[in-house]
């Protein structure tokens, strides 16, 4: 029963970390969608799809670049003890 609790704790910790790492980029892209939606209401003659697609791709690439620079130490510290913790769960 202890193995299941350890495995559940490890899994929940990884899922929570993934959500926390992905939220800033998700929030930025959601704000871009809201801005483009308002732009389409204010100026209906503007082709928002053709304007928004390269904008969102550029934002995503820029955000991923910043993410890899800033979050690399956090991700490294998160996954470094993962092998040891998994073996500890399997050996118990």
The pLDDT, as a whole number, for residue 67 is 82
Task: Please report, for residues 8, 26, 59, 67, 70, the alpha-carbon distance to residue 21 in angstroms, rounded to integers and kept in the order given.
Answer: 20, 10, 16, 8, 11
* Nearest Cα residue to 52 out of 65, 33, 38: 33
Strands (E), the chain: none
Assess whether pLDDT exceeds 80 at residue 6: no
* pTM value > 0.85: no
The pLDDT tens digits for 20-68 are 888 888 999 999 999 999 988 998 888 888 888 898 899 989 988 888 8
The boundaries of the domain holding residue 19 are 2-91
The number of distinct structural domains making up the chain is 1
């Amino acid at each position: 029963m202890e193995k299941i609790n350890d495995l559940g704790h490890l899994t929940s910790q990884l899922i929570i970390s993934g959500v926390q790492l992905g939220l800033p980029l998700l929030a930025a892209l959601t704000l871009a969608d809201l801005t483009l939606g308002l732009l389409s209401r204010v100026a209906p003659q503007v082709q928002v799809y053709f304007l928004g697609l390269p904008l969102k791709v550029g934002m995503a690439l820029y955000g991923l670049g910043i993410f890899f620079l800033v979050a690399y130490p956090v991700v490294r510290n998160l996954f470094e003890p993962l092998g040891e913790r998994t073996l500890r769960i399997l050996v118990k």
